[in-house]
């Protein structure tokens, strides 16, 4: 291990300090970017997932077909391939829309592209999580809501949605952990500026590959373990009303 | 619940509009560090000969320019998909690329060399590499050169995503030779790690593959921008801008820059 | 859409498919075998082995596979020049192809994910079954071999299809180091032809087909496993 660190008995090598010569601040910025991209993509995924699940469960034949195609294809293709594909195709679409509404070609920067692409992929997975969670809501509750004269929309947002949330939390927690890790895949596009990209730059610059990949592994671990800790608490909180035996 | 939903929409909207960058001209360059031309330093800023050359050329055009990193293997498709306006990334103007995109006037030219262990064979022929492993950066003109001249005579090629990974594996002893740009390998050879290795010599020229120097890559239809950039390169060269940068980065004599006049 | 490149590169793509499948199959089989002792030592080991096995699983599951691959390949590579006598005595180790590093990374990754599932499976075997086995006079090794392990493995099998598909979907990461897998070949085609979409579409289609076949294969196996429902 001695070889990993700077000779001279200094436990923290200069390359891992903050400031102009060290890469600690770049790694930290990368980690924040990872959390930002992951959080935004996760939210976008939740947003798409709600509609996906609604389309799959309550939609007409066409919306069912579209949602089915979306989840099957996205979940059957490796994330890395999807990211490369959507990175090019997605931004072309946005530029085209921008041009159509007279906004001129929109420059989509790497971070935004990363969020959109990861969010789109997340949406397919959250669709399935929501669908499963909704199906686990006792049918009697839904029938009761209908009997009270609630519309389909009211039933969904007042009864089904709150009731299915506890069922969805474990699945969503897994998705959150995987989206944190998936942010590293953006490196194949060269854009994004997240933790893996920062690590790669630092390791290439200093040639200390072992040190930097070890340190970045630890940072990822801190992110995922902290998330895990909070998610367990969150699950306990949303399940407080459920019977312990259920 | 309404609050939850509003939050989602707000977050999505924020994500969508917060980071739409609008700059006058955006240039793409290799995301992997390519010193002394383009790299991001420990303060997270762009630096290097080529980055400063871009700033100089843009100053001549009176334009505000930004540099964005992009994976090298997708840089031409990204240009064609309008992810940025041009490539300012040490791209050699070879025949294959000229079919896809336009190039500005040459702004620098340097040689493709073979780097190997100190004291290696200086008078190499394609047969020298029989059974040896050559590391290259994927998608470069140098990679195409190795495939055409050294693979048929029995060389084993290892393709990497970035030049610094090729260098790392030469250091590790996993590959025997690197075929790369002389200037791009200089910082590596000058460093303490690079003491193992040396430039063995330039490869015989093949203009069709290695190209006639480096130019700014642009989409075929953007002819107005091409003319503007050509004029700016000329103006910056006449000021001695490129030469001053070569002096600053101690690259004089290693590379040819755009001619005056 | 342009597809005229396909016949020319088809042999390379098939070679790449071979590499991808080799890494998938070997890492799944060896990883699964590794997962059994790792899972068991989390349930039944000493405090030391519990910590080691738990830490291993947390690291594998809590960090991106990409950083694990790069730590193994470039990280270990960067240590070679620092070890005196390495070049003289262990040249074969230095020259070890990136293929082996990737294989190791994928095997450890699969072992880490599967060990966590194994751990749950070991815990879910009813205590009564184990007590009954002990009451028959079996020693702890026999209890493990004849009752605990078979019962736990049987519980894990239904989740295996999903885990294998997850592993399949990680295989494009191989292309970030110099190994000619299917993704690397696709990347090479994109560089040679400057096509943005077609090679990726082809690759996506192959992955979809592989996912389909793996799902069917496991469904077929599962129909042979006796389960009381």
pLDDT digits (tens, 9 = 90+) for B200-225: 999 999 999 999 999 999 999 999 99
pLDDT (0 to 100) of residue C221: 84
Q: Which residues of chain C have pLDDT under 70?
A: 226-229
Strands B197-202 and B156-160: unpaired
Q: HSE on the CB side for A31, CA within 13 Å?
A: 17
pLDDT (0 to 100) of residue B9: 53
Helix (H), strand (E) at residue A190 = none
- In which residue are the tokens 């879910």 written? C124
Distances in Å between the Cα of B174 and the Cα atoms of A61, C81, C91, C184 are 57, 11, 9, 19
Q: Which two tokens stand for residue B45?
A: 């800023």
Q: Which residues pair with B47 in a beta bridge?
A: B39
pLDDT (0 to 100) of residue C116: 94
Whose CA is closest to B216, among B63, B43, B114? B63
Quote the DSSP letter at residue B258.
P
pTM above 0.95, yes or no: no
Beta strands in B167-211 (DSSP E): 177-181, 197-202
Mutate one of A109, A155, A164 to test the B interface: name it (highest B CB count within 10 A).
A109
Polymer length of chain A: 246
Q: Which two tokens stand for residue A57?
A: 């469960």
**Helix (DSSP H) and strand (DSSP E) numbers for chain C:** 12, 0
Q: Which two tokens stand for residue B78?
A: 């990204």
Mutate one of A69, A70, A77 to test the C interface: name it (highest C CB count within 10 A).
A77
Q: What is the per-residue pLDDT across B138-172, written as a single tens digit (0 to 9) for each?
A: 999 999 999 999 999 999 999 999 898 999 999 99
- A residues 181-200 lying closer than 8 A (beta carbon) to C: 181-185, 187-188, 196, 199-200
How close is the nearest chain B Cα to the Cα of C198, in Å? 12
Compute the mean pLDDT over every residue in chain B, rounded to the nearest whole number: 89
A84 touching C (Cβ < 8 Å): yes
pLDDT (0 to 100) of residue B203: 95
C79 touching A (Cβ < 8 Å): yes
Mutate one of C71, C97, C174, C191 to test the B interface: name it (highest B CB count within 10 A).
C191
Determine the 3-state secondary structure of C177 from DSSP.
Answer: coil
Question: Which chains neighbour C (Cβ–Cβ under 8 Å, 3 or more pairs)?
Answer: A, B
B8, B70, B164 member nearest A204 (Cβ) = B164
Query: Which residue on chain C is closest to A73 by alpha carbon?
Result: C208
CB contact at 8 A, B233 and B222: no
**Chain B residues inside the 8 Å CB shell of A123:** none
HEC-encoded secondary structure of B117-160: ECCCCCCCCHHHHCCCEEEEECCCHHHHHHHHHCCCCCCEEEEE
Q: Which two tokens stand for residue A190?
A: 């060269």
pLDDT (0 to 100) of residue A103: 67
Query: Which residue on chain B is closest to A210 by alpha carbon?
Result: B168
Q: What is the per-residue pLDDT across A168-216, written as a single tens digit (0 to 9) for each?
A: 999 999 999 999 999 999 998 887 789 999 999 888 888 889 999 999 9
Distances in Å between the Cα of C193 and the Cα atoms of A81, A189, B171, C3 are 18, 18, 32, 10
B158, B165, B173 member nearest C87 (Cβ) = B173
Determine the 3-state secondary structure of C125 from DSSP.
Answer: coil
Q: Which residues of chain A have pLDDT under 70?
A: 1-12, 91, 95, 103-108, 243-246
Measured CA to CA, the distance from residue C20 to residue C182 in angstroms comes to 6
pLDDT (0 to 100) of residue B202: 95
- B residues 84-103 lying closer than 8 A (beta carbon) to C: 100
Angle (CA) A52-A55-A59 rounded to 5° is: 175
C91, C95, C190 member nearest B73 (Cβ) = C190
Measured CA to CA, the distance from residue B55 to residue B26 in angstroms comes to 12
C218 touching A (Cβ < 8 Å): no
Angle (CA) A25-A26-A29 rounded to 5° is: 85
Determine the 3-state secondary structure of A64 from DSSP.
Answer: helix
Task: Give one DSSP letter per residue of A152-167, joined into a string.
Answer: HHHIIIIIIHHHHHHH
C81, C176, C196 member nearest B171 (Cβ) = C81
**Chain A residues inside the 8 Å CB shell of C66:** 184-185, 187, 196
Q: What is the per-residue pLDDT across B3-57, written as a single tens digit (0 to 9) for each?
A: 555 555 555 454 444 444 446 899 999 988 898 999 888 777 899 999 999 999 9
- C residues 11-40 lying closer than 8 A (beta carbon) to A: none
- In which residue are the tokens 């190791």 written? C104
């Amino acid at each position: 291990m001695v070889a990993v660190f700077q000779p001279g008995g200094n436990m923290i090598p200069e390359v891992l300090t903050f400031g102009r010569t060290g890469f600690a601040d770049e790694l930290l910025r990368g980690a924040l970017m990872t959390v930002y991209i992951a959080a935004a993509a996760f939210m976008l995924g939740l947003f798409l997932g709600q509609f996906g699940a609604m389309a799959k469960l309550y939609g007409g034949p066409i919306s069912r077909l579209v949602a089915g195609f979306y989840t099957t294809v996205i979940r059957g293709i490796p994330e890395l391939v999807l990211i490369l594909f959507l990175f090019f195709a997605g931004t072309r679409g946005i530029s085209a829309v921008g041009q159509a509404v007279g906004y001129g070609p929109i420059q989509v920067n790497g971070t935004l592209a990363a969020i959109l692409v990861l969010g789109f992929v997340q949406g397919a997975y959250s669709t399935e999580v929501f669908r499963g969670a909704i199906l686990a809501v006792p049918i009697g509750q839904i029938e009761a809501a209908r009997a009270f004269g609630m519309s389909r929309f009211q039933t969904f947002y007042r009864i089904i949605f709150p009731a299915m949330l506890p069922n969805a939390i474990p699945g969503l927690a897994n998705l959150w952990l995987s989206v944190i890790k998936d942010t590293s895949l953006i490196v194949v596009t060269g854009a994004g500026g997240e933790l893996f990209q920062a690590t790669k730059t630092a390791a290439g610059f200093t040639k200390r590959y072992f040190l930097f990949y070890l340190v970045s592994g630890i940072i990822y671990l801190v992110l995922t373990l902290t998330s895990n800790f909070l998610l367990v608490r969150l699950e306990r909180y949303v399940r407080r009303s459920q019977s312990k035996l259920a | 619940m309404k609050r939850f939903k509003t939050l989602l929409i707000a977050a999505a909207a924020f994500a969508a509009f917060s980071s739409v960058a609008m700059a006058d001209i955006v240039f793409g360059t290799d995301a992997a560090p390519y010193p002394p031309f383009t790299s991001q330093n420990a303060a997270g800023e762009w630096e290097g000969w080529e980055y400063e050359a871009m700033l100089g050329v843009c100053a001549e055009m009176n334009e505000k320019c930004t540099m964005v990193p992009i994976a090298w293997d997708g840089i031409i498709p990204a240009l064609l998909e309008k992810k940025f306006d041009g490539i300012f990334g040490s791209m050699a103007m070879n025949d294959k690329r000229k079919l896809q995109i336009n190039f500005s006037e040459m702004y620098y030219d340097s040689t493709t060399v073979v780097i190997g262990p100190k004291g290696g064979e200086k008078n190499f022929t394609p047969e020298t590499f029989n059974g040896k492993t050559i590391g290259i950066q994927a998608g470069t003109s140098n990679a195409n050169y190795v495939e055409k001249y050294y693979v048929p005579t029995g060389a084993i090629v290892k393709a990497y995503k970035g030049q610094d990974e090729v260098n790392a594996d030469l250091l590790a002893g996993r590959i025997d030779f690197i075929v790369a740009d002389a200037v791009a390998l200089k910082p590596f050879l000058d460093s303490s790690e690079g003491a193992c290795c040396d430039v063995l010599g330039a490869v015989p020229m093949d203009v069709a593959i290695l190209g006639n120097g480096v130019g700014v890559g642009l989409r075929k239809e953007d002819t107005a921008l091409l003319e503007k950039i050509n004029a700016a390169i000329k103006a910056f060269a006449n000021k001695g801008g490129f030469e001053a940068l070569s002096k600053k980065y101690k690259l004089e004599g290693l590379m040819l820059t755009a001619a005056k006049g | 859409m342009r597809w005229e490149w396909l016949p020319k590169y088809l042999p390379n793509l098939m070679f790449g498919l071979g590499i991808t499948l080799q890494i998938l199959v070997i890492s799944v089989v060896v990883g699964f075998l590794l997962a059994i002792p790792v899972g068991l030592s989390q349930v039944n080991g000493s405090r030391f082995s519990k910590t080691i096995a738990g830490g291993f699983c947390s690291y594998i599951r809590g960090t991106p596979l990409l950083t694990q691959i790069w730590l193994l390949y470039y990280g270990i590579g960067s240590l070679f020049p620092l070890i005196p006598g390495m070049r003289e005595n262990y040249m074969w180790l230095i020259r070890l192809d990136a293929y082996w590093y990737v294989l190791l990374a994928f095997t450890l990754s699969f072992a880490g994910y599967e060990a966590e599932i194994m751990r749950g499976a070991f815990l879910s075997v009813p205590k009564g079954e184990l007590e009954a086995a002990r009451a028959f006079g079996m020693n702890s090794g026999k209890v493990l071999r004849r009752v605990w392990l078979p019962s736990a493995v049987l519980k894990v099998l239904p989740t295996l299809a999903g885990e294998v598909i997850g592993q399949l979907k990680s295989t494009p990461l191989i292309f970030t180091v110099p190994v000619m897998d299917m993704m690397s070949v696709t990347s090479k085609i994109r560089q040679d032809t400057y096509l943005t979409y077609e090679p990726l579409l082809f690759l996506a289609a192959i992955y979809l087909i592989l996912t389909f076949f793996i799902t069917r294969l496991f469904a077929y196996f599962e129909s042979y496993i006796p389960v009381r429902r």
